[in-house]
Chains A and B, each alone.
Chain A
């Protein structure tokens, strides 16, 4: 194999952490969605890389489903963000705070 599997792990961990950073720091709901996509794609990198390492296609099959689920999640998410924009006139996730504790 041309590249050691450890590097794939490192790459996916880096992508995951970038996504997590975006989730925790950014307040724009759309950026939040993109960060979630990054985190799911980090899982995809692991699955595809180790499907190659182990020589079975289980990981690759799961990646197909993960891609479809991520798309479905974004579709629902954008719908909710649209409703948010209509009710609160912004898509800042920290604006919707009428309920606390």
Chain B
């Protein structure tokens, strides 16, 4: 093994602990003077906390913590904590890196966006608590910890979406997010209860063994799996559980839209990968979840892309694009074959796409945050001629949008290509065709925004306002990461496949 194993085992969840600690430091900092919050200090604390967590996650990932050593089988080496309730392995660290990167970007970008917000400490504290939950989701190894972590993600997210308390859109978005979220978490809880009824256990490994041994209540297990699928489909905003997504993203403060659409989706997917591939991998005879994901995937990408074509509000276009991307990544579950090698390449491609998506989607929503900061307006027409005024930010936005579409200007090209490649080698041509057609459709609405920014003449003179440093820095970092992921993609896919091997093998 490696030198990191000399640390005590519990330090493996240091990323989550760092985020949690930062959330409480923020509350303590707010207690010094509750009426007058110092925005710069709060942003500084949050970004530092996020960077510490990111540092831990990256260090562990690169040092090989929780990954198979040279002498071990590729599926061994995971660190199990608290009686197997949590597991730190390659996949949880890989996703922790995605989530903490998004947290750092969002915290940095919120600085100027929140300049008149009365509850800044609470805002940052909720963001960090939600990201603690997300990092815990990646490490959940039991339905108990999975459910608690998912709720720890959801509850602060509801509050964050509705955090502009006097803005009707924000409250409405928060309400819809909350209503659908509460419903789906109740269904998720009932599904877990049914799995417990069928198997007598809630720990992932034990459930897996019980299913392999055969259970008495096949129909209950199948129903439980269907309900768990519903709960996960809500978190990743897949059709038909996506109705909250456009409204919540549109109403929420733009950095929060970025946070929920990137990090929260990654957390939902990591749970989906672990629960379905690892735990229910042998239960396809009870309930054919592969076919369910196949339908879900194709329907999600098609409906989302065609609805996005009809939108005029840029934030809503991006919201539907985010739903469509959930469909693309669902391919990783829909093309599950049971054969180890094909599975690893497809799962790895899905994870790598989530990695790239984390940067490009966050960046795109942060550009919207910039536009909202300038009070530009929300529709595509309002964006006309922005390119003359803020060429750098608009160039970054172009990179994000074309990378989301899958053009070879950002890492999105390679991750989509790997997904496509894996569907073809896995014999899932239908999924591959759906992916190509939908990417072409999506190019229309992405190009529409780019055209509005660069080519169209501005309707009225735009006031060149001040240039917010934090937002610009966050957008620049996201753009840089998106572009750098082209040469670094081999590196990402390598770690993604290590992660995939740990659950798929």
A contacting B, Cβ–Cβ less than 8 Å:
yes
What is the CA–CA distance of A93 and B179 in the complex, to the nearest angstrom? 9
Identify which of A19, A32, A43, A98 contacts B179 (C-beta below 8 A). A32
Q: Are A96 and B171 in contact (CB under 8 A)?
A: yes
Q: Are A47 and B171 in contact (CB under 8 A)?
A: no
Q: Which of B41-49, B190-198, B337-345, B417-425 contacts A (4 or more CB under 8 A)?
A: B190-198
Q: Are A65 and B202 in contact (CB under 8 A)?
A: no
Q: Are A72 and B189 in contact (CB under 8 A)?
A: no
Contact with B along A43-60 (1 / 0, CB 8 A): 110110010011010110
B175 within 8 A of A: yes
Chain A contacts for B247, CB-based, 8 A: 99
Chain B contacts for A59, CB-based, 8 A: 193, 196, 202
A21 within 8 A of B: no
Q: Are B175 and A16 in contact (CB under 8 A)?
A: no
- The closest CB in chain A to the CB of B174 belongs to A80
Contact with A along B92-129 (1 / 0, CB 8 A): 00000000000000000000000000000000000000
Q: Are A80 and B178 in contact (CB under 8 A)?
A: yes
Chain B contacts for A40, CB-based, 8 A: 186, 189-190
Chain B contacts for A23, CB-based, 8 A: 183
Central interface residue in B144, B175, B202, by most chain A CB within 10 Å: B175
Chain B contacts for A88, CB-based, 8 A: 168, 171-172
B187 within 8 A of A: yes
B457 within 8 A of A: no
Chain A contacts for B178, CB-based, 8 A: 76-77, 80
Question: What DSSP secondary structure best describes chain A's contact surface?
Answer: helix
Identify which of B173, B187, B196 contacts A58 (C-beta below 8 A). B196
Chain B contacts for A33, CB-based, 8 A: 182
Chain A contacts for B179, CB-based, 8 A: 29, 32, 93
What is the CA–CA distance of A33 and B166 in the complex, to the nearest angstrom? 23
| CB of A97 to closest CB in B, whole Å | 8
Contact with A along B451-486 (1 / 0, CB 8 A): 000000000000000000000000000000000000
Q: Are B186 and A39 in contact (CB under 8 A)?
A: yes
What is the CA–CA distance of A61 and B192 in the complex, to the nearest angstrom? 13
A83 within 8 A of B: yes
What is the CA–CA distance of A67 and B178 in the complex, to the nearest angstrom? 18
Q: Are A84 and B175 in contact (CB under 8 A)?
A: yes
A–B complex contacts, Cβ < 8 Å, 24 sampled = A12-B193, A16-B190, A36-B182, A46-B193, A46-B194, A50-B193, A50-B200, A56-B201, A58-B196, A58-B203, A62-B144, A65-B144, A66-B147, A72-B151, A73-B185, A76-B155, A76-B178, A80-B178, A83-B162, A86-B165, A87-B172, A88-B172, A99-B247, A101-B246
Given contacts A40-B190, A56-B200, A76-B178, 4 further A-B contacts (CB under 8 A): A29-B175, A43-B186, A96-B175, A96-B176
